[in-house]
A and B are shown apart, each in its own frame.
Chain A
């Protein structure tokens, strides 16, 4: 494939299960070396999209090219060149850490001597060298995740797919995983990840799309998305329980949007100092007031709503 051709190209990509449309005619393209994220609430269609890009789930309609090839006809040869970190671990828990890498590498028909070398290097990379000959079963969740990442790298993939790579990990383990993924990104590996953690997306993604109900509702860099879909700052006012229904007419001209939550009021504004001053002059007495920058989380909640999706 030509060097400037996207590594993944989707046009009108659709996935239906019976009458249910999981992915509804989406378009996206991922360039070589890019770190690309799919954000969205549960059921938004992220995982279905990832499974199609992983060349294990047939496309219902539209076109999909991965590494310049069609997954419908070239599934095995595409999968030979990508790495997959699934949402749920699929390690061989009764085997050792090293055996897991070798057995998996054999699926790619890589020779054992080469796999032993790669296993040593990868275990060093994910900081599991001391556990190489231990069984996987008793390892912590974070260690298993790192091993899964090492396993996905055993074929030196051009494209690494990660489905919610840090869900269920404690903060230390998450940061270690992020650190390793960041290094891969620096080394030029193309990363594609799904997440519903906004901090993860801000840390890792050069570019991302927000999905909701099987469609892409926004696309851009984290900074551009914040610029486009939120204000520069957010003023959070906390009132005593039941005190949210205050009249905020005073700050009308300063807030581009006001959101009332059960415990606080969010005022999206480009000048929070002025807005806060107006709140004071209007005689409102919040228990606490906090000014912060807009985050991707504000964008996400704006685009996909606060309703819980079950």
Chain B
């Protein structure tokens, strides 16, 4: 029985991860602990005391945690797809080695994105666990926010893979992190509702995938997700994943089969 080609590439990533999982596990738990303690615990308590009331009846940390989970998936997914992807062409040359085998560029892209999706899933699961320990999870249905957070990660991973695969140097990566990812993280409704944003900036949040992931994760975690809004959010995330994957396959093909 034959194994699908993308899975054969995925096995490579899993073999590498088997050597690295310990350190990666520590950082998977560290980020939510730090954020939830620093912002959820302190700022959140102050907000709740003044009863600002933007949070649909939930405490600030309950409102914050699911959005942070989605944003964290985004950040880790982008990290996984910038240097490691460029390195697969330039430094480790893993992709070039794999392209000499029956694997096609598209198999490598989908295998790798499957890996990033799995990693986002594990990472978001860890996030939810930490949030529960902080008392920020109110009901069991919140676990359905984990796959949505993973989709959010992939919605960035796929375009990031395409971008990295067209680069020859890594100098754009830190600028993108600083001038695109960080503002997105701060202004996509993770820390405050985007109704607080100036009206001119709001369409930008609607256009990019993070806000959709954040809002849907939050609605699921707080138990009021449903209807066409949820379908719409998922559709945006899937559209980014699909377009990013197509672009990444094109970029890999151009680079490996030139």
Q: Name A residues whose Cβ lies closer than 8 Å to a Cβ of B.
A: 17, 54, 56-58, 75-77, 79-80, 84, 86, 88-95, 99, 102-104, 106-109, 155
Q: Are B257 and A58 in contact (CB under 8 A)?
A: yes
**Contact at A93–B92, with CB atoms within 8 Å?**
yes
* Nearest A residue (CB) for B10: A106
A56 with B256, Cβ < 8 A, contacts A95-B15, A106-B12, A107-B9 known: yes
B93 touches A88 (CB 8 A): yes
- Whole-angstrom distance from the CB of B27 to the nearest CB of chain A? 17
5 more A-B contacts (CB under 8 A) besides A56-B257, A80-B101, A90-B94?
A90-B96, A90-B97, A92-B92, A107-B98, A109-B5
Q: How far is the CB of B257 from chain A (nearest CB, A)?
A: 6
Q: Per a CB cutoff under 8 Å, which of A76, A77, A95, A107 touches B16?
A: A95
Shortest CB–CB separation between residue B182 and chain A, in angstroms? Answer: 29
CB-based contact B100/A84 at 8 Å: yes
B254 → A minimal CB distance (Å): 11
- The verdict on B139 contacting chain A, using a C-beta distance below 8 Å, is no
Residues of B within 8 A of A58 (CB): 257
Band of interface residues on B? 20 to 34
CB of B19 within 8 A of CB of A107, answer no
B11 within 8 A of A: yes
Taken together as a complex, chains A and B put the C-alpha atoms of A140 and B122 apart, in Å, by: 37
Judge whether A79 and B15 touch: CB under 8 Å.
no
- Distance between B96 CB and nearest chain A CB, rounded to angstroms: 5
Name the residue in B12, B96, B97 with the highest tally of chain A Cβ atoms < 10 Å from its Cβ: B97
From 1 to 30 in chain B, residues with beta carbon under 8 angstroms from any chain A beta carbon are 2-3, 5, 8-9, 11-12, 15-16, 19-20
Can you name 6 A-B pairs with beta carbons within 8 Å? Answer: A58-B257, A92-B16, A99-B15, A106-B12, A107-B98, A107-B103
Q: Distance (Å) between the CB of A148 and the closest chain B CB?
A: 9
A88 to B2, CA, bound (A): 30
Complex Cα gap A103–B92 (Å): 15
Contacts of A109 in B (CB 8 A): 2-3, 5, 8, 102
Across-interface contacts of A106 in B (CB, < 8 A): 3, 8, 11-12
Are B102 and A86 closer than 8 Å at their CB atoms? no
CB distance from A22 to the nearest CB of B (A): 11
In angstroms, Cα B103 to Cα A266, docked, is 51
Q: Find out whether the CB atom of A103 lies under 8 angstroms from the CB atom of B12.
A: yes
Do residues A104 and B3 form an inter-chain contact, with CB atoms below 8 A? no
- Contact assessment for A79 and B11 in the assembled complex, using a CB-CB cutoff below 8 Å: no
Interchain CB contact under 8 A, B8 and A90: no
CA of A75 to CA of B106, assembled, Å: 13
**Do most interface residues of chain B lie in helix, strand or loop, or is the interface mixed?**
helix
Of the residues A86, A89, A94, A155, contact of B19 by C-beta under 8 Å: A94
CA distance A57 to B12 in the complex (A): 24
B8, A86: Cβ atoms closer than 8 Å: no
User: For residue B258, which residues in chain A have a CB less than 8 angstroms away from its CB?
Assistant: 17, 57
Taken together as a complex, chains A and B put the C-alpha atoms of A157 and B13 apart, in Å, by 25
Interface, chain B (partner A; CB < 8 A): 2-3, 5, 8-9, 11-12, 15-16, 19-20, 92-94, 96-104, 256-258
User: Which residues from B are CB-within-8-Å of A108?
Assistant: 101-102
A89 B93 Cβ-Cβ under 8 A = yes
The CA of A262 and the CA of B8, in the complex, are separated in Å by 57
Residue in B3, B12, B16, B256 whose Cβ sees the most chain A Cβ within 10 Å: B12
Tell me whether B93 and A90 are in contact (CB under 8 A).
yes
- Whole-angstrom distance from the CB of B80 to the nearest CB of chain A? 15
Separation of A83 and B32 alpha carbons in the complex (Å): 46
- Minimum distance in angstroms from B11 CB to a CB of chain A: 5
Please tell me if the beta carbons of B97 and A94 are within 8 angstroms of each other in the complex: no
- In the assembled complex, the Cα of A102 lies from the Cα of B8 at a distance in Å of 11
Assuming A88-B93, A90-B94, is B257 touching A107 (CB within 8 A)? no
Q: Which residue of B lies closest to A96 (CB)?
A: B19
A88 proximity list for chain B (CB < 8 A): 93
Output the least CB separation between A75 and chain B (Å): 7
Q: A91–B101 Cα gap in the complex (Å)?
A: 14
Residues on the A chain within 8 Å of B15, using CB = 92, 95, 99, 102-103
Q: Return A32 CB to nearest CB of chain B, in Å.
A: 21
Across-interface contacts of A17 in B (CB, < 8 A): 258
Measured CA separation A94–B87 after assembly (Å): 13
Contacts of A102 in B (CB 8 A): 15
User: B3: which A residues are within 8 A, CB to CB?
Assistant: 106, 109
Residues of A close to B96: CB separation below 8 A = 86, 90
Partner of B8, one of A75, A94, A95, A107: A107
- Asked whether B257 lies within 8 Å of A57 as measured between CB atoms, the reply is yes
Query: With the chains together, A308 CA to B257 CA distance in Å?
Result: 30
